[in-house]
């Protein structure tokens, strides 16, 4: 089993457990390192992000837990930084770059909210053309690719969160695949690491992780790097889907997973897991 999870949340944002509880659960599950990746503030009020005024407390608590558990598990201070975040992605051990929204003029609708919201976005902003929405969504990753501080790409195809129940997007559509592939190419050229993210599985929205198998194969064929994460919001989900994600990675042609060592990302053989 891959023994690192860099995508987890706590009571500092929309998680259900404290940082210490998450770290202890990771240790009990056999992980050798965990990253807490707080949702950074957005320019509008959001119940799922940390308040900017609490960031110093977040840094202090990660440091405290890191010291308390030193020698038993490594604890990293990370961030899940949205492309439209209100703060710069600096001051963290590592940064996951995610896209939860689509910028449409002064509007910033969320693709991670509800199926009804996704349906509204397609109808109201894209004249019912789901491919057009997908093109706009994936185009934002071209900007994300230019953010040097971002090292990991979070849930690449998050816009498909509700597809297993509502089938908004035709993921085999040439336009959809072209838009996603363009984003993948830019992100690979920038050296980003893609996560296989099982967060929607643990929360009951999907039975498969992000990105889709088709997109993982594109990433593999183009020599992209991957890691495995659970996007855990509670202790029970620390290693959710890890075994299946590793098997999926192998099936898509990957031979390595990339691990954060506290300074940089280093590869380790996937076949040993």
Q: What is the 3-state secondary structure (H, E, C) of 83-148?
A: CCCCCCCCCCCEEEEECCECCECCECCECCCCHHHHHHHHHHHHCCCHHHHHHHHHHHHHHHCCCC
Between helices 19-28 and 55-68, what is the axis angle to 10°? 30
Would you state the pLDDT for residue 127? 97
Q: Do residues 273 and 1 touch, judged by C-beta distance below 8 A?
A: yes
SS3 label, residue 27? helix
The residue count of the chain comes to 273
Would you state the pLDDT for residue 271? 78
What is the spatial distance between Cα 187 and Cα 46, in angstroms, rounded to a whole number?
27
Half-sphere exposure of 221 (CA within 13 A, CB side): 9
Q: Which fold has domain 4-269?
A: TIM Barrel (3.20.20)
- Going by the DSSP 8-state scheme, the letter that residue 207 receives in this structure is S
Match 């957005």 to its residue by tokens.
Answer: 42
Successive 10-residue mean pLDDT values, the chain, 273 residues:
98 99 99 99 94 98 99 99 98 99 94 96 97 98 99 99 95 98 99 98 97 99 99 98 98 98 98 71
Q: Do residues 35 and 9 touch, judged by C-beta distance below 8 A?
A: no
Q: Do residues 14 and 48 touch, judged by C-beta distance below 8 A?
A: yes
Would you state the pLDDT for residue 45? 87
pTM (2 d.p.): 0.97
Match 């969320």 to its residue by tokens.
Answer: 110
């Amino acid at each position: 089993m891959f023994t690192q999870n860099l995508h987890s949340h706590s009571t500092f944002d929309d998680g259900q457990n404290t940082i210490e509880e998450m770290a202890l659960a990771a240790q009990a599950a056999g992980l050798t390192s965990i990253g807490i990746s707080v949702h950074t503030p957005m320019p509008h009020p959001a119940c799922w992000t940390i308040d900017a005024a609490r960031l110093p407390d977040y840094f202090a608590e990660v440091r405290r837990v890191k010291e308390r558990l030193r020698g038993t598990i490594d604890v990293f201070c990370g961030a899940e930084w949205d492309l439209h975040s209100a703060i710069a992605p600096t001051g963290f051990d590592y940064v996951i770059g995610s896209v939860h929204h689509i910028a449409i003029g002064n509007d910033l609708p969320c693709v991670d909210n509800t199926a009804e919201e996704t349906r509204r976005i397609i109808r109201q902003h894209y004249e019912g053309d789901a491919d057009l929405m997908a093109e706009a969504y994936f185009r934002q990753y071209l900007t994300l690719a230019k953010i040097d501080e971002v090292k990991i790409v979070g849930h690449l195809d998050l816009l498909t969160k509700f597809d297993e129940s509502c089938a908004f997007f035709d993921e085999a559509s040439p336009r959809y695949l072209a838009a996603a592939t363009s984003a993948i190419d830019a992100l690979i050229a920038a050296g980003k690491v893609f996560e296989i993210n099982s967060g929607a599985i643990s929360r009951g929205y999907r039975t498969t992780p992000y990105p889709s198998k088709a997109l993982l194969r594109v990433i593999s064929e183009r020599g992209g790097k991957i890691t495995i994460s659970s996007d855990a919001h509670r202790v029970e989900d620390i290693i959710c889907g890890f075994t299946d994600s590793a098997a999926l990675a192998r099936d898509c042609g990957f031979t390595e997973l990339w691990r954060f060592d506290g300074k940089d990302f280093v590869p380790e053989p996937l076949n040993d897991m």
